[in-house]
């Protein structure tokens, strides 16, 4: 049964790589400098917000 799960995992990984490859070949503008810059800025803001939210939750647990 474990071998079946390993085979399914490999097939799933190959499928994901194939879909990503097809997407990149079909739309190469997804990885332009401006798009990546906007994406990293947005992800940075979301990460800072998440860190702040978790810090607030930790403080609430500490003082409750």
17-61 confidence digits (pLDDT tens)? 999 999 989 988 888 889 999 999 999 999 999 999 999 999 999
- pLDDT of residue 1 exceeding 80: no
Q: How far apart are CA 8 and CA 14, in angstroms?
A: 10
Note whether 2 and 23 are same-domain residues: yes
Q: Are 31 and 24 in contact (CB under 8 A)?
A: yes
Pair (6, 20) in one structural domain: yes
- Asked whether residue 26 falls in the same domain as residue 40, the answer is no
Residues 11, 37, single domain; the answer is: no
Domain extent, residue 47, equals: 33-64
- Per-residue pLDDT, averaged over 1-7, amounts to 90
Note whether 39 and 51 are same-domain residues.
yes
**What total of structural domains would you count in the chain?**
2
Same domain, 25 and 40: no
State residue 60's pLDDT score.
96
What count of other Cβ atoms lies within 10 Å of the Cβ of residue 9?
10
């Amino acid at each position: 049964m474990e071998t079946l799960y390993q085979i399914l995992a490999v097939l799933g990984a190959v499928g994901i790589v194939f879909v990503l490859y097809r997407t990149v070949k079909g739309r190469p503008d997804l990885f332009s400098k401006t798009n990546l810059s906007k994406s990293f800025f947005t992800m940075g803001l979301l990460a800072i917000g998440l860190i702040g939210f978790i810090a607030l939750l930790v403080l609430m647990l500490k003082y409750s």
